[in-house]
Amino acid sequence: MTVLKCFGILLCLRRSFCLDEPSKSKRLGTAIIGDLGAASVAAVTASPLIATIDRSIVEAAASKGTTVNQAFGKCMKNGLLKKPLAFSLAPECRWVSLVYASTYAASNLVDSTCEIYEKQSTLPKLVATTAANSGTCLAKDAAFARAYGTGGSSFPVASFALFLLRDVLTMGCAFILPGPISHALGPSSPTWLPQVVCPVVAQVKTPFKFLP
């Protein structure tokens, strides 16, 4: 009788396990759709203005006597303000959308996967977001340099290491720190505050890649 009871318990556990995995897979599939959708919406919304800023920086660096503010005003006047739809579909906007969509998608997918399978997400999210952001940023910057630059000198090797360091710090501040800081501030503090402040503070280290 005891053997039959044990067998029954094991059978129930096996059934629970078998039912649990498909349930998690189904939840993950639903989460993936939402994660990719949210990342795409965020990227499309932010890309026109960010692309204008990036293009202004490249054009100012390539043109002597032109400040970033002057280049930004020119880009806004001739691009985003003059033909907003056409500019939103331009290559520079598509590149920026790729950067933001891939980075946010990496963060969202890691969060969902780790939450469903009850795993720690800190290190996987840092690695995934850094890889996505660094790879797409390098491709985007190269495309911008070809389109709006003047050729110039080669990029110092040491700057690549500083570029990676900058990205690790940025991803850590943008996606890792807000959670612990929000928890430390307590439930009375708005959850959006660390999410806004941390990435802004992280920009202090941006000039690192230009040191060599």
pLDDT in tens, 83-137: 888 888 888 899 999 999 999 999 999 999 999 888 899 999 999 999 999 999 8
60 within some domain? yes
Instruction: Kindly state whether residue 80 falls inside one of the protein's structural domains.
Output: yes
Q: Tell me, yes or no, whether 162 lies in a domain.
A: no
Determine, yes or no, domain membership for 20. no
User: Sign of dihedral through CA atoms 162, 140, 136, 97?
Assistant: positive
Q: Bigger pLDDT: 203 or 98?
A: 98
In this structure, of 3-12, 124-133, 145-154, 167-176, the range with the lowest mean pLDDT score is 3-12
In 10 A of CB 20, how many CB atoms? 10
Confidence band, pLDDT 50/70/90 cuts, at residue 154: low
Q: How many CB atoms lie within 10 A of CB 145?
A: 16
User: Angle 122-148/157-171 helices, nearest 10 degrees?
Assistant: 130
pLDDT winner (highest mean) among 19-28, 69-78, 141-150: 69-78
Average pLDDT of the chain, as a whole number: 79
Quote the CA–CA distance of 28 and 115 in Å, as a whole number.
10
Question: How much is the average pLDDT of 168-196?
Answer: 85
> What range does the domain containing 81 cover?
32-118
pLDDT, greater one: 106 or 195 = 106
Contact 103, 136 (CB under 8 A): yes
For the chain, give the percent of residues with pLDDT over 90.
21
Taking 50 as the threshold, does the pLDDT of residue 18 lie above it?
no
Structural domain includes residue 18: no
pLDDT of 15 > 60? The answer is no
Does the residue 19 lie in any domain? no
In 76-175, alpha helices (H): 84-88, 91-116, 122-148, 157-171
Q: What is the pLDDT of residue 57?
A: 82
Residue 177: partners with Cβ closer than 8 Å, 6 or more residues away: 194, 198
- pLDDT band for 14, please (50, 70, 90 cuts): very low
Number of domains present in the structure of the chain: 1
Residue 2: pLDDT above 70?
no
CA distance 199 to 38: 19
The mean pLDDT of 38-45, rounded to a whole number, is: 91
Question: Which of the pair, 15 or 104, is modelled with greater confidence?
Answer: 104
Domain membership of residue 180 (yes or no) is: no
Asked if residue 84 is part of any domain, the answer here is yes
